[in-house]
Structure 1
Amino acid sequence: MTAPGDKLGFEQDIKPLFRQKDRDAMLAGFDLFDYDDVVEKADAIVGSLRSGQMPCDGAWPAEQVDKLQRWIDAGMPA
């Protein structure tokens, strides 16, 4: 688990937060396993997670949402 001060990267920290079924559900709009797509939709993704609209089968734990937000705030490093 990464601490708040640790550098986060997409492949090792963010992509694994999304399950295959999350990806499949969103593929018509964008690919949750694709860095560029997630960067483009990052604010909408985190907003949907915080509001409970995503994923449809239950909310993420707060620490996972916070990790995604820290990655966004850090400039979304690859």
Structure 2
Amino acid sequence: MATAGDAPSFERDIKPLFREDDRDAMDYVFDLWKYEDVRANAQNILERIEDGSMPCDEEWPEERLELLRRWIETGMSA
């Protein structure tokens, strides 16, 4: 997992945030386990997680949300 001084990466830090059920639920729109799909939809994904409409069964803890925000802010590395 990314530390405070290093930028998060998709494979190491972001992809594991999405469960198989999350992936299956969103498969009709994009693949939450594919870097290109998440990068292209990152702002929309963040907004949905912040407003509680994604994932549909539970809210993310603040530390997971902050990790996604930091990934977006630091350039969304693979």
Gap runs ≥5 in structure 1? none
Match of residue 2 from structure 1: 2
Percent identical among aligned pairs is 51
1:42 partnered with 2:42:
yes
For 1:54, the equivalent position in structure 2 comes to: 54
Please, which runs of 5 or more residues in structure 2 have no aligned partner? Answer: none
Runs of 4+ in 1 over 4 A off after TM superposition: none
Q: Deviations over 1:13-64 (max 9, x none)?
A: 0000000000000000000000000000000000001111110001000110
Superposition RMSD in Å = 0.9
| TM-score, L = length of structure 1 | 0.95
Q: TM-score, normalised by structure 2?
A: 0.95
